[in-house]
Amino acid sequence: MEDEFKLSNKVEERSMVSLSVFNVGRQKCSPGYEWGPGIRDHYLIHYISSGKGTYTYDGHTTKLEAGDLFLVRPDMEVSYRADERSPWTYYWVGFAGTDAGAILEATDLCGKNNVLRSISYGDSLKKQLASINDAFGNSFIHAVRMTGELYRMLALIVEHASHTSPITPDDSEQVRRAIDFIDSHYSYPISVEDIASYVGVSRSTLFRQFRRFLDLSPKEYLDQYRIRRAAYLLKHTDLTVNSVSVSVGYDNGLYFSKVFKKATGMSPSRYRAGQ
């Protein structure tokens, strides 16, 4: 039997807002190899090229094999395990962004469906996943290339969908405008009400749209965006922790430290020190 292997590339700086690759790779698992139970903060698609295993989500376990595809959604508790006798090999890509939810709604992975079985375009999908991996890098041009290849891969899944997308351009445009506003104003003490007012919708409507496309609330997205910017400033500038806090829209340094530790598992000072 071929030796087990794992090739995993993780993107350090996630600079694209509409769609961004978080990680990409492939793995030939050892017998019984398992990930989870756990959650991810982004979407993750696995395509099984050989072998078999099980995937557990929402308390339900399903058996999968070569030719199947499964989706992990943000903040969804999952686990997946390779078979003891015929462990699977899979290719994967992790991604997120304002376009991610809208595109997936246009595929057969819409709603709560997280599995596609015996897909007819498996070889093409595997090649496209390999193309994303070939484009890997941490510069902005690499991010653009990876995102381009990711769009191609998702377009392949959309092309083979058995239904027509119910989503209109206006649906995703509201979220896109909100993201643009956050991108331009995150350093100010803006609220969800401010974002909704800019977009021209109610707070409840904005909440539903964010949950639909990003699986996050507007407040969760705003906090995550600020923490990503804060992490960058802590690593790449000499600003004090308090200055970083103010720079990303937190007037209260103690509250910022609390939010940062909750998100990263360490205080801003420890994060800067690399501990």
Distance CA 217, CA 211 (A): 6
Angle at CA of residue 69, ends 160 and 139, nearest 5°: 90
Helix residue ranges, H only, 87-202: 100-105, 122-134, 140-159, 169-185, 192-199
| Averaged pLDDT, 179-206 | 90
More confident residue, 211 or 63: 63
Which is nearest to 183 in space by CA: 13, 23, 15? 15
Query: Could you report the per-residue pLDDT of 9-63, keeping only the tens digit for each?
Result: 666 555 556 788 999 999 999 999 999 899 888 899 999 999 999 999 988 999 9
Q: Name residue 217's amino acid.
A: S
Which amino acid, 100? A
DSSP classification of residue 98: T
User: Where does CATH 2.60.120.280 sit in the chain?
Assistant: 5-159
pLDDT at position 81 is: 97
pLDDT of residue 76: 85
* Alpha carbon distance 98, 178 (integer Å): 10
pLDDT average, residue stretch 245-261: 92
Number of H helices, E strands in the chain: 10, 10
Out of 3.30.465.10, 3.40.50.2300, 1.10.150.530, 2.60.120.280, which CATH number does the structure's domain 5-159 have? 2.60.120.280
Which 3 state secondary structure label does DSSP give 21? strand
- The region that residue 249 occupies, defined by phi over 0 for left and psi between -120 and 50 for alpha, beta otherwise, is left
**169-273: in CATH 2.40.50.140:** no
Distance from C-alpha of 222 to C-alpha of 228, rounded to nearest angstrom: 10
Write out the residue limits of the CATH 1.10.10.60 domain(s) in the chain: 169-273
Average pLDDT, the chain: 88
Per-residue tokens: 21: 């690759």
Neighbour-count burial of 261, counting CB atoms closer than 10 A to its CB (0-12 exposed, 13-18 middle, 19+ buried): middle
- What pLDDT is attached to residue 12? 57
